[in-house]
Amino acid sequence: MIRDVTSALATCKLVDLIGILSKHKITGLPVVNNDQEVIGFISLHDIIRATLPNYLGIINSNSILSEFIQLSKSLREYSQHPIKEFMRKNIITINEYDNEVLAADLLIRNKIQRLPVLRDGKLVGIVTLTDICRVLMEKSENKE
Amino acid sequence: MIGTVTLNPAMDVILEISNLKINSYNKVLNAITTSGGKGINVSKAIRGYGRETIAVGFLGGGRGRMIEEELREIGITTNFWHIEEKTRSNTIILDKKTGEHTLLSEMGPKVTEYDLEMLKSIFYRVMSQCSAVTLSGSLPRGVPENIYANLISIAKERGVKTILNTSGEQFIKGLEGKPFLAKPDLRESNRVLGIKINNERDAIKAAKEIVQRGAEISVVSLEQEKDIIATQNEIWFAETDYHEIVNLIGAGDALIAGFAITLTEEGKNLEEAIKFSMACALASALREEEEFSSREEVEKCLKCVKLKKL
Percentage above 70 pLDDT, chain B: 96
Position A16 scores a pLDDT of: 94
Residue A25 identity: K
DSSP state of B21: -
B168-172, B176-180, B294-298: lowest mean pLDDT where? B294-298
Instruction: Determine, for residues B125 and A34 on separate chains, whether the beta-carbon distance falls below 8 Å.
Output: yes
Best residue in A1, A2, A4 for a mutation probing chain B (most B CBs within 10 Å): A4
Report residue B131's pLDDT band, with 50, 70 and 90 as the boundaries: very high
For chain B, first and last CA: distance in Å?
33
Burial of A63 (0-12, 13-18, 19+ CB in 10 A): exposed
Position A81 scores a pLDDT of: 93
Closest residue of B to A1, CA-based?
B72
Q: What is the mean pLDDT of residues B227-253?
A: 82
Per-residue pLDDT tens over the stretch B63-85: 999 999 999 999 999 999 999 99
Instruction: Determine, for residues A3 and B65 on separate chains, whether the beta-carbon distance falls below 8 Å.
Output: no
CATH number of the domain to which B260 belongs: 3.40.1190.20
Position B191 scores a pLDDT of: 82
Residue A124 identity: V
Burial of B13 (0-12, 13-18, 19+ CB in 10 A): middle
Position A66 scores a pLDDT of: 63
Report residue B245's pLDDT band, with 50, 70 and 90 as the boundaries: low
Position B310 scores a pLDDT of: 83
Per-residue pLDDT tens over the stretch B138-151: 999 999 999 999 99
Q: How far is it, in rounded angstroms, from Cα B227 to Cα B305?
A: 11
Residues B135 and B162 sit within 8 Å (Cβ to Cβ)? yes
Q: Looking at CA atoms only, how far is residue B181 from chain A in angstroms?
A: 25
Q: Looking at CA atoms only, how far is residue B48 from chain A in angstroms?
A: 16
Position B100 scores a pLDDT of: 84
Chain A neighbors of B65, CB-CB under 8 A: 25
Q: How far is it, in rounded angstroms, from Cα B258 to Cα B42?
A: 9
pLDDT of residue A1 exceeding 70, the answer is yes
Position B213 scores a pLDDT of: 94
Interface of chain A toward chain B, CB-CB under 8 angstroms: 2-7, 9, 20, 23-25, 32, 34-36, 122, 124-125
Per-residue pLDDT tens over the stretch B6-21: 999 999 998 999 999 9
Report residue B246's pLDDT band, with 50, 70 and 90 as the boundaries: low
Residues B67 and B35 sit within 8 Å (Cβ to Cβ)? yes
Q: How far is it, in rounded angstroms, from Cα B304 to Cα B238?
A: 11
ipTM greater than 0.90, yes or no? no
Position A140 scores a pLDDT of: 74
Per-residue pLDDT tens over the stretch A48-105: 888 776 666 666 666 656 667 777 787 888 889 999 999 999 999 999 999 888 999 9
Best residue in B69, B81, B119, B129 for a mutation probing chain A (most A CBs within 10 Å): B129
Closest residue of A to B82, CA-based?
A23
Chain B neighbors of A25, CB-CB under 8 A: 65
Burial of B167 (0-12, 13-18, 19+ CB in 10 A): middle
Per-residue pLDDT tens over the stretch B273-282: 999 999 998 8
Chain B neighbors of A34, CB-CB under 8 A: 124-125, 128
Chain B neighbors of A32, CB-CB under 8 A: 125
Chain B neighbors of A125, CB-CB under 8 A: 77
pLDDT of residue B109 exceeding 90, the answer is yes
Per-residue pLDDT tens over the stretch B198-215: 888 999 999 999 999 999
Beta strands in chain B (DSSP E): 2-6, 10-17, 28-36, 53-60, 77-83, 88-95, 101-105, 132-136, 161-165, 181-182, 191-192, 195-196, 217-223, 226-230, 235-240, 305-309
Tell me the β-bridge partners of A30: A41
DSSP state of A96: T
User: In which element (H, E) is residue A100 found?
Assistant: helix A100-109
Mean pLDDT of chain A: 87
Position B5 scores a pLDDT of: 98
- Of A31 and B94, which is predicted with more confidence? A31
Q: Looking at CA atoms only, how far is residue A65 from chain B in angstroms?
A: 31
Instruction: Determine, for residues A24 and B72 on separate chains, whether the beta-carbon distance falls below 8 Å.
Output: no
DSSP output for A8-75: EETT-BHHHHHHHHHHHT-SEEEEE-TTSBEEEEEEHHHHHHHHSTTTTTTTTSTTHHHHHHHHHHHH
Chain B neighbors of A5, CB-CB under 8 A: 54, 77-79, 126
Question: How many interchain CB pairs under 8 A, A with B?
Answer: 43
Residues B265 and B225 sit within 8 Å (Cβ to Cβ)? no
Residues A29 and A51 sit within 8 Å (Cβ to Cβ)? no
Nearest to B102 by CA among B110, B93, B114: B93
Q: What are phi and psi for residue B155, nearest 5 degrees?
A: -65, -40
Report residue B40's pLDDT band, with 50, 70 and 90 as the boundaries: very high
- Exposure on the CB side of residue B159, measured as CA atoms within 13 A: 5
Position A144 scores a pLDDT of: 65
For residue B151, the enclosing domain spans 2-309
* Residue count of chain B: 310
Position A135 scores a pLDDT of: 80
pLDDT of residue A109 exceeding 80, the answer is yes
| A85-90, long-range: CB < 8 A, 24+ apart | A85/A50, A86/A14, A86/A42, A86/A46, A86/A47, A86/A50, A86/A51, A87/A10, A87/A31, A87/A40, A87/A41, A87/A42, A87/A46, A88/A40, A88/A41, A88/A42, A88/A46, A89/A39, A89/A40
Instruction: Identify which of A25, A32, A124 has the shortest CB distance to residue B125.
Output: A32
Residues B88 and B106 sit within 8 Å (Cβ to Cβ)? yes
Q: Please give the tally of structural domains in chain B.
A: 1
Domains along chain A with CATH numbers: 8-143 (3.10.580.10)
Report residue B295's pLDDT band, with 50, 70 and 90 as the boundaries: confident
pLDDT of residue B265 exceeding 80, the answer is yes
